[in-house]
Structure 1
Amino acid sequence: MTAIPQGRTRRAVTAAAICALAVTATGLTGCGSEDPDAGTNGVGKLSATAIQAKAKKAADKAPAVRLSGTVVSGGTTYTLDMRLKSDGGSGSVTSKGGGFRLLRVGEHLFLKADAAFWAHEDGESDGKPTDTAAADKLEGMYVKVPTGDPAYKRFSGFTDKDVLLDGLLSLHGALAKDGHHEQSGVRTIRITGGKGSGGTLDVSLQGTPYPVLLGRAGNAGTLRLTDWGKDFPLAEPSKKDTVDYGQQLPSS
């Protein structure tokens, strides 16, 4: 057996010790020549600003996406599950107080909700809300939202892929990289705005650099972006399932 020089042994032990210290201090999973971006699309090597630009470009070019998760606004948590593409979208928005479904095909926006959503108490007749009958009539029906009604602007944004993603993918504050991660089996690179207070965004390191997870600024919700490019049927509801009030919706 050939003897190993003591100097070489000491150097090997020293190198192993340094590697172990580096792992403990940084949380890295390996030492030596291991590259966390090996086998990826290379986006992880870019600056945070360039990563955000790549993710936005990929999102803009994708014909469809599914957006699901939570949004916190005014102390209320809303749960979204929307499927979007260039000519419209569909899905649900719910909260502790109830929820509704949205469907937009081109410029035509439809809203579907239960009677409680439509009922209000701004007027009474014989001690009863004046529009109880109307609320019962609207339950489970698709109500066409007139383009001039304030509700159109308020709700159509939930179904507009370009408008919705442009706002969501814009982090606030100075951008920085926050390491390599994994979301539902997909390797990602995370970027942050304002050291995390301005939101976080995980971008796929596999294939097209799509955004896959968004943490909204101020802990205002978390949204997953999936089914990129996956088409889905989008058609107006049948006339028998639709109520058209003309120029203005009933108050709700």
Structure 2
Amino acid sequence: MTVIPRTRRAALVSAVCTLVVSGLGLTGCGGEDPDEGTNGVGKLEPAKIQSTTKAAATAADTVRLSGAVVSNGKTYKLDMRLKEDGGTGSVTSGDSTFRLLKVGEHLFLKADADFWDHEDPGKKGGEDHGDSETAAADKLDGMYVKVPTGDPAYKRFSGFTDKDVLLNSLLTLHGTLSREGHHEQSGTRTIRITGDKGSGGTLDVSLEGTPYPLRLVRAGDAGTILLTDWGQDFTLEEPDEKSVVDYGKQLPTS
């Protein structure tokens, strides 16, 4: 029996491996390091991955959020671009789609007549004002409505345009954190972390460049959000006066 020296045996294995890989297009015999050439986040503990990606998200100037969020039994489909001083985009709830624009503390809402008729802006004290409601809705059709900060609608809608509020509420997984392997999101390599093996949500974090969060599946089937366009600037401007109705002064109340 011929005994092959260890060094020669290792060289022979390496040579065979190289032939197999090159001939069949495989990725390697010994297994490649999935974190090679990445930002290194995939090697961190899950809690550290979560805190690192939240810090990166907070530090970013801008982001785009698209997808669905379930809140209080309602599903909201979002497509929002956010920055530190406001945001703009669309929100769909049921059959109604409306646009939101927030510049500093000024919140504007734009929707069609059906949305405003459903909102019953002309109702006061539970009294039905019939035709006046339809007239009010028609007046608001396609106009930006400036919502005062003290109105309940301001609190209801402004959260969709607040970058820090949205990210802080979305990017927290619940339960015991764990790594769930390497994945890919829109062509970008990611590391996935989960809370309670997925029941507490899952989060895909970029392994390329800055470790931004790229995809979030919320706990309890509460929606899936894609986070894109990190750091891509856009302009926020208030609409011109001819396109704005002041919610506090112009809406009929009787």
TM-score bin, normalised by smaller chain = 0.7 to 0.9
Cα shift at 1:74: 4.6
Deviations 1:101-139 (A, max 9, x none): 1000000000001111111375445xx443111100001
8 Å contact from structure 2 (residues 173, 201) kept in 1: yes
Deviations 1:2-27 (A, max 9, x none): x9959959x96xx99xxxxxxxxxxx
Structure 1 Cα separation of the partners of residues 250 and 184 of structure 2: 47
Structure 2 Cα separation of the partners of residues 33 and 159 of structure 1: 45
8 Å contact from structure 2 (residues 64, 230) kept in 1: yes
Partner of 1:189: 191
Secondary structure of the corresponding residue to residue 103 of structure 1: strand
Cα shift at 1:67: 0.4
TM-score normalized by structure 2? 0.84
- Alignment gaps of 5+ in structure 2: 18-26
5 Å-filtered alignment, 1:85-100, equals 85-100=83-98
5 Å-filtered alignment, 1:224-235, equals 224-235=226-237
**Structure 1 residues 245 and 75: CA distance shift in structure 2, 3 A:** closer
What root-mean-square deviation, in Å, do the aligned CA atoms of Structure 1 and Structure 2 show?
2.6
Number of residue pairs matched by the alignment: 232
Q: In the alignment, which of 174, 177, 181 is matched to residue 175 of structure 1?
A: 177
Deviations 1:161-184 (A, max 9, x none): 001000100111111111000000
Structure 1 Cα separation of the partners of residues 183 and 237 of structure 2: 38
8 Å contact from structure 1 (residues 148, 248) kept in 2: no
8 Å contact from structure 1 (residues 36, 180) kept in 2: yes
5 Å-filtered alignment, 1:149-228, equals 149-228=151-230
Cα shift at 1:71: 1.4
Secondary structure of the corresponding residue to residue 149 of structure 2: coil
Partner of 1:25: none
Cα shift at 1:141: 0.3
Secondary structure of the corresponding residue to residue 167 of structure 2: helix
Alignment partner of 1:143 is 2:141 = no
**Structure 1 residues 182 and 138: CA distance shift in structure 2, 3 A:** same
5 Å-filtered alignment, 1:79-118, equals 79-118=77-116
Cα shift at 1:194: 1.4
Q: Percent identity?
A: 69
Secondary structure of the corresponding residue to residue 234 of structure 2: coil
Q: In the alignment, which of 56, 64, 67 is matched to residue 65 of structure 2?
A: 67
The amino acid that maps onto 2:174 is H
5 Å-filtered alignment, 1:38-53, equals 38-53=36-51
Q: In the alignment, which of 55, 58, 81 is matched to residue 56 of structure 2?
A: 58
Cα shift at 1:143: 0.2
Structure 1 Cα separation of the partners of residues 55 and 29 of structure 2: 34
TM-score normalized by structure 1? 0.84
Cα shift at 1:220: 1.2
Structure 2 Cα separation of the partners of residues 249 and 133 of structure 1: 10
The amino acid that maps onto 2:46 is A
- Alignment gaps of 5+ in structure 1: 17-28
Cα shift at 1:248: 9.4
Secondary structure of the corresponding residue to residue 248 of structure 2: coil
